[in-house]
Structure 1
Amino acid sequence: MRKAFWLLLGVLISCAANAQQVQLKGLFGDSAMLEIDGRQHILKPGKKSPEGVSLLEATTSYARIRVNGREQKLTLDAPIAASYAQAERAEVRLMGDRRGHFNTEAWINGMRVGVMVDTGASTLAINYPTAQRLGLNLSGAKRIPVSTASGMTSAYLINLSSVTIGGIKLHNVEATVHTDNFPQVVLLGNSFLGRVDMQQQSGVLILRARN
């Protein structure tokens, strides 16, 4: 009997820790109303629902949550989180800024750097000072001509060991290192974006790892 009790308890805990769907229903100061698998909860920052969803932050415009170790920002325009129990693919959601640009932080070869999504760039584009800070080895790298808004210049063509954004990690990502201060921020081009699935929804850019 005791063994059956603990087995049942383990099943219940397992189910509670795997929320299938999370939806933002309302924002009330520093609290958020979340609907989790059909049940509604009002949470304050630092609190966790019985299903295992933690509210990290709530403002008048968004709620930031953690589900199964993944962080996600929800707004009333894009209120639905991923179906974590059914989808094993890593997912990142980016909010556009006032100019419609999507900015985030990435880890390049294990070092953190700010990046901006640029579907018009064929590779990751990195300026020379940033490449030095990241410790990128340019010796023996092929030098190629590149076109910028200021005209033609040259850049080093290299392969990055890894580029990580959220839970998405890609290896051997092609990049160009410019010989000057352009671009001011690392441009996340198609050598990364072409290897993930992208979807835009109500001003939110969704990146999903491919199986």
Structure 2
Amino acid sequence: MRNLVVSIVLLMTPLLSSAQDVRLQAIFGTSAMFEIDGKRRLLKSGKTSPEGVRLVSVTSDYALVSIDGREQKLTLAAPVAANYQQAERAEVRLNADSRGHYSTTAWINGRRVDVMVDTGATSIAFNYPTAKSLGLDLARARPMTVSTASGVEKAYRLNLASVTIGGITVHNVDATVLGSDFPRVTLLGNSFLSRVDMQQQDGLLLLRARN
């Protein structure tokens, strides 16, 4: 289980004034923790909160809730249900870990990978094993060399069709694949970060999609 608590918030325009704000915070076996209209509620499968939110079922991947007779799946990567409208803009809120790093899960070309924010990296950077596991076609990539702490290494430059974090998706993103097992964690560099609005304060990093 990840130590870093990642909160991803989708900003939505209210459809009905009575609509509730429901956020999945954690999953515990057959129970799930929610924040409902600002109040924490621990619900077991089949139970209903005082606000009328029913936990239909829960798995290790998602919680299925029913609100006003409508069902929606919430995951820890996309935990917010509010008014059942599509997000106008999306926010991703990342809490710093004990080392001051910001980490989260991304979907790259439709495949899941753990990433760490690195504003010093020019592009998204993968190690070779991760690139292969993601099915990246290095045969069509442009060979290059890069300087690392270990010296000069062979690398490949390519273009990613899409990178998604929470509700934020950026298309046609530059990436670099190093020909070794460095970096150990995929780096979320400026080829992605420069295309979102970013704000940092009090140990919180806010990423916001651009219109």
Check whether TM > 0.5: yes
SS of the residue corresponding to residue 191 of structure 1 reads helix
Taking a change above 3 Å as real, the CA distance of residues 49 and 140 of structure 1, as seen in their structure-2 partners, is same
How far the C-alpha of 1:99 sits from its partner, in A, is 0.2
Aligned-residue offset at 1:151: 1.8
Q: Which amino acid aligns with 2:112?
A: R
Q: Deviations over 1:111-131 (max 9, x none)?
A: 111100000000000011111
Larger Rg: 1
Shift of 1:94: 0.9
The residue that corresponds to 1:44 in the other structure is: 42
How far does residue 200 in structure 1 lie from its aligned partner after superposition?
1.3
Distance 2:134 2:114 in 1: 12
Percent of aligned positions with the same letter in both sequences?
Answer: 53
5+ residue gaps, structure 2: 1-14, 24-30, 56-64, 66-71
Query: Larger strand proportion, structure 1 or 2?
Result: 2
User: In structure 1, how many angstroms separate the alpha carbons of the residues matched to 2:189 and 2:50?
Assistant: 38
CA deviation digits over 1:142-170, x for unaligned, max 9? 11221211122121000011111111111
Q: State how far apart, in whole Å, the 1-side matches of 2:166 and 2:116 are.
A: 14
Q: Which residue of 1 aligns with 2:16?
A: 14
Counterpart residue identity of residue 169, structure 2:
K
User: Hey, what's the Cα distance between the residues in 2 that align with 1:32 and 1:110?
Assistant: 28
Partner of 2:111: 111
Q: Deviations over 1:150-199 (max 9, x none)?
A: 12212100001111111111111100011111100100000000000111
The Cα shift of 1:102 comes to 0.6
Larger RCO (alpha carbons 8 Å, 6+ apart):
2
- Using the size of structure 1 for normalisation, the TM-score is 0.67
How far did 1:139 drift?
A: 1.3
Structure-2 change in CA distance of 1:90 and 1:144 (3 Å): same
- Normalising by structure 2, report the TM-score: 0.67
Equivalent residues of 1:91, 1:206 under 8 A apart:
yes
Structure 1 match to 2:141: 141
Q: Counterparts of 1:35 and 1:52 in 2: how far apart (Å)?
A: 8
**Partner SS, residue 157 of structure 1:** strand
Structure-2 separation of matches of 1:133 and 1:152: 24
Deviation at 1:49, TM superposition (A): 6.4
Backbone CA RMSD of aligned residues: 3.8
User: Cα 1:51–1:166, aligned 2, differ >3 Å: closer, same or farther?
Assistant: farther
Note closer, same or farther for the CA distance 1:52–1:92 as it changes in structure 2 (3 Å cut). farther
TM-aligned CA deviation for residue 18 of structure 1: 5.4
When residues 43 and 118 of structure 1 are mapped into structure 2, their CA distance, relative to the original with a 3 A threshold, is same
CA contact (8 A) 1:124 1:188 kept: yes
Q: Which consecutive residues of structure 1, in runs of 5 or more, have no partner in the other structure? A: 1-12, 23-29, 55-65, 73-83
Letter in 1 for 2:17: C
Match of 1:190? 190
